Amino acid sequence: MTSRYNDADAVGFQPGRRRFVAGLALGGVALSTGLLRAPAHARDTTYATPGGILTQTDLQLDVGASRVNFTGRTRPAITVNNSLPAPLLRWREGDTVTIRVGNRLPGHTQTSIHWHGILLPSNMDGVPGMSFDGIYPGESYLYRFKLRQSGTYWYHAHSKHQEQAGLYGPMIIDPIEPPPYDWDREHVVLLSDWTDLSPEGLFARLKKSPHYDNYYKPTVGDFIRDVRRDGWAATMADRKAWGQMRMTPTDLSDVNANTYTYLMNGVTPTNNWSGEFRPGEKVLLRFINAANMTYFDVRIPGLKMKVVAVDGQYVHPISVDEFRMCVAETIDVIVEPSGQDAFTIFAQDMGRTGYARGTLAVRAGLEAPIPAIDPRPLLTMDDMGHGGHGANGGGHDAHAGHGGHGGDGMQSHPQSELRSPLVDMQTMTPTPRLDDPGIGLRDNGRRVLTYGDLYSLFDDPDGRDPGRDIELHLTGHMEKFSWSFDGIPFGGAEPLRLNYGERVRIVLVNDTMMQHPIHLHGMWSDIEDEDGEFKVRKHTVDMPPGTKRSYRVRADALGRWAYHCHLLYHMDAGMMREVRVEEGA
């Protein structure tokens, strides 16, 4: 089923036809996908990729196999119109867009495209097995929907591991009304992670050896140092606690630069993507984290960044030196470069193992100094949200209690977590920590953006108090590389059912030792502060370890929607649910 008002907006939409452009003969209907000049309202936009900028509202995108070389080895990739990253799509709010996506992959490989953060009918959302049947080799699918929003977004595959293989690209929707800020030039800065391994091979390795990339485990020397500093009893208690959690204090990410090459607009750090500016200009930088497993900490040494939008939505401007981007998030900033000819855009990974970088310069070919990677941070028990530890905490109703106030006593847990072989720990004293910049960013001498800084430029668009609360726990088992909600992986979970039009509060509790970006398809997530008041509208909500955060959702789109962690291999390993918005559910 699809939303009432979405039906009217989807020109030509026919309810119930899930694969209504199958086996399309492209030779007679393919449209031009050549590089077009950006429209006037786009100002000076650059996007360095072979795919260029596509502005047609009726266009063809072909998913196919290509060969790429980022590391000195030629490897297979999955591309859109032979481009990695995929072409930049630029449209205007109010446009109705028609996109024919053809599958030109060899063999029996199904494909799909999901339009991340875009409000549309459920059968246009691009999730095989949920939104539609997928696109099979030699066939095409007709996506058609009206754009009812503006801002910086992106699109990517939602089939197996094709996003890791290269199927992702940026998307900009220009507003009908002028934005509340001015700029003279803009650049898209799309961050991603590439591996020469096959994505399937990397997933298999994570299942067999989830700590493979963690080269920085405590040594005997570290143990002796800690005994001298903290004493034998305290050191042994610390090691026992980490052993119970089956992790180490350096275990910040499952995959890092020991496997990945980090890219900026498809360019390696060595090759140095470059965007030009003229002194005195205001430059809008549209950052997109299109990585599969990597959180990036972004800064431009020598420049302040004024944050003006997150996840496509305007926020009250806030000037910062640095910000952390969870996977799938977008952040728009304005900078005013002056006083030197080049500035480095520096995006180090959260685990401090590598970086993507590019340069803002007055002309191509210039470089600025690359800062040293920050010291490697160490997790603490406080980061885990622990007033206690164990996988056998008291079980209570998973749907009870208001999540706006975190840390008021010991946390209850759903019955499905109790003694589950797929749950290796539980947080006991979680808090929202909205003002915390995060592990590795605290007290670093720079002004770092936090969720506490973010306020939408508009009031709560719904205005109603939520009619009910739904509490979900992010759960996992490190050694088994198993991830889930409430200890139940996707394959064994019942859909989460919402009544069409209702306002609900979703409370997330991160019981795991890892950071998770949580994305609900088809609807906005309106984050609350500690008092339950509306703060900021987003499509992807970051959940650090040991946190409890809440947000409101208006169930205003009928149909079946995906809800999942946007770390690709966490989603594939089970941290996903189906959300069904139904009449009178």
Structural domain total, the chain: 3
Domain boundary among 316, 349, 378: 378
487 and 438: one domain?
Answer: yes
132 and 202: one domain?
Answer: no
Contact 424, 246 (CB under 8 A): yes
Q: Please, which pLDDT band fits residue 174 given cuts at 50, 70 and 90?
A: very high
200 and 156: one domain?
Answer: no
Q: Is 383 part of any domain?
A: no
Residue 212 DSSP SS3: coil
129 and 200: one domain?
Answer: no
Residue-wise pLDDT tens digits, 378-427: 877 777 666 433 333 333 333 333 334 444 569 999 999 988 999 998 99
Q: What is the pLDDT of residue 442?
A: 95
320 and 425: one domain?
Answer: no
Which range, of 17-21, 427-431, 538-542, averages the lowest pLDDT? 17-21
Q: Is 402 part of any domain?
A: no
Q: Is 394 part of any domain?
A: no
pLDDT cut 70: percent of the chain above it: 81
Domain boundary among 125, 155, 174: 174
Q: Give the containing element (helix H, strand E) for 4.
A: helix 4-9
Contact 510, 385 (CB under 8 A): yes
Q: Is the pLDDT of residue 136 over 80?
A: yes
Instruction: Report how far apart, in Å, the C-alpha atoms of 504 and of each of 384, 433, 478, 574 are.
Output: 27, 22, 31, 24
198 and 316: one domain?
Answer: yes
Domain residues for the domain of 110 are 4-174
22 and 81: one domain?
Answer: yes
Residues 487-501: what's their mean pLDDT?
Answer: 96
Q: Give the containing element (helix H, strand E) for 466.
A: none
Q: CATH number, domain at 186? A: 2.60.40.420
370 and 442: one domain?
Answer: no
Mean pLDDT of the chain: 86
Q: How are beta strands 305-310 and 330-335 bridged, if at all?
A: antiparallel
The predicted model scores a pTM of 0.86
Q: What is the pLDDT of residue 221?
A: 56
Domain boundary among 116, 142, 174: 174
Backbone angles phi, psi at 41, to 5 degrees: -70, -5
Residue-wise pLDDT tens digits, 288-339: 999 999 999 999 999 999 999 999 999 999 999 999 999 999 999 999 999 9
360 and 300: one domain?
Answer: yes
184 and 323: one domain?
Answer: yes
Dist. CA 57–CA 43, nearest whole Å: 19
Q: Is 559 part of any domain?
A: yes
Q: Is the pLDDT of residue 520 over 90?
A: yes
Q: Please, which pLDDT band fits residue 249 given cuts at 50, 70 and 90?
A: low
350 and 478: one domain?
Answer: no
Q: What is the pLDDT of residue 314?
A: 98
Q: Is 409 part of any domain?
A: no
Neighbours of 399 (CB within 10 A): 12
118 and 204: one domain?
Answer: no
**Per-range mean pLDDT, top range of 233-237, 248-252, 439-443:** 439-443
Record the tokens describing residue 185, joined without a space.
Answer: 């030039």
Closest listed residue to residue 269, CA positions, set 357, 188, 189: 357
